[in-house]
Homo-oligomer: A and B are copies of this chain.
């Protein structure tokens, strides 16, 4: 491993290895998000797309297809599909969360209105289906339409579960699969399917994406209670103030006595928060080992992702995906 290699993030190495394909994906995204008749559409989407997310999901699709030896054109369509679905859910999430900021910029619903966010999101969903239909592969259509249903179902579930102390780790996992992991696992799985690899390898690609997505979300939950706000861009306790029942809190609630339960009910379910509540919450998380357990869960999911990837044939791309899994948890190691 060269010094250059060691100091470059896995995400950047993936981007470099996939540069030509990502260029094609970006070109396809630009073409397909255009609308001759409704100029509002490219205005809204350009705002989001140019804000430059990390394009992690389309890279997962490209990497999965290439490491499986795919040499056709359709991994580019599938990568753009995955990014369109992601962007559509961001637009709708911002309406649902009434967010004011996304990727460091004002959200589309603030700049335009909720109407545009809802309808342009619908447009991107429809565009994503057009793109995947062009691959002519019924199995990828099945996988991606199932993922879209899981995403929407998870989001609806979150509406009722997020502030309900009865939410357990099983429900949490369903929500997280909907919010994050379903699109990660579909992104990697379709890469293998389009390449025509055997079932065991398709399953390994699915397992990798699923475990990576779950680890990603758990790390996010954990950093909200013990992160370095300079590194993460989040303030400690944002989730707490927004009354989100994240994994550390679910673990602490499971071990809470009656007094502690009353505290959680007041601050999360009823939302009546007072000065000092965040510190008290942190002390309860510590007392029950909830942060340590959450960290252990994230590491376990990362290990699962790496184990799955290790069953695939050796290649540079495979190793980058393994390193990517390590990188996700590096922020909490």
A residues with a Cβ closer than 8 A to B are: 35, 37-41, 89, 92, 95-96, 114-116, 118-120, 122-123, 125-127, 129-130, 133, 136, 138, 141-142, 145-146, 148-149, 151-157, 159-160, 171, 174
Contacts and interface: CB of A to CB of B under 8 A. Distances in A.
B156 A133 contact: no
A125 B125 contact: yes
Number of copies: 2
A126 B152 contact: yes
A134 B157 CA distance: 25
A92 B116 contact: no
A38 B126 CA distance: 24
Contacts of A171: 37
Given A116-B156, A153-B123, A37 B136 contact: no
A96, A115, A122, A130 — most chain B CB neighbours (10 Å): A122
24 contacts: A35-B156, A37-B154, A38-B156, A38-B157, A40-B160, A41-B153, A95-B95, A95-B114, A96-B114, A116-B156, A119-B156, A119-B159, A120-B152, A120-B156, A122-B148, A122-B152, A123-B152, A126-B152, A129-B129, A129-B145, A129-B148, A133-B142, A133-B145, A138-B138
A152 B41 CA distance: 10
B133 A174 contact: no
Given A38-B156, A40-B156, A118 B92 contact: yes
Given A119-B96, A129-B129, A40 B149 contact: no
Interface centre among A40, A120, A133, A160 (most CB of B within 10 A): A133
A180 B120 CA distance: 18
A123 B171 CA distance: 18
A136 to B, nearest CB: 6
A156 B34 CA distance: 13
Contact of A159 (B115, B136, B141, B149): B115
A138 B92 CA distance: 28
Contact of A119 (B38, B40, B145, B152): B152
B155 A126 contact: no
A79 B292 CA distance: 52
A138 B152 CA distance: 24
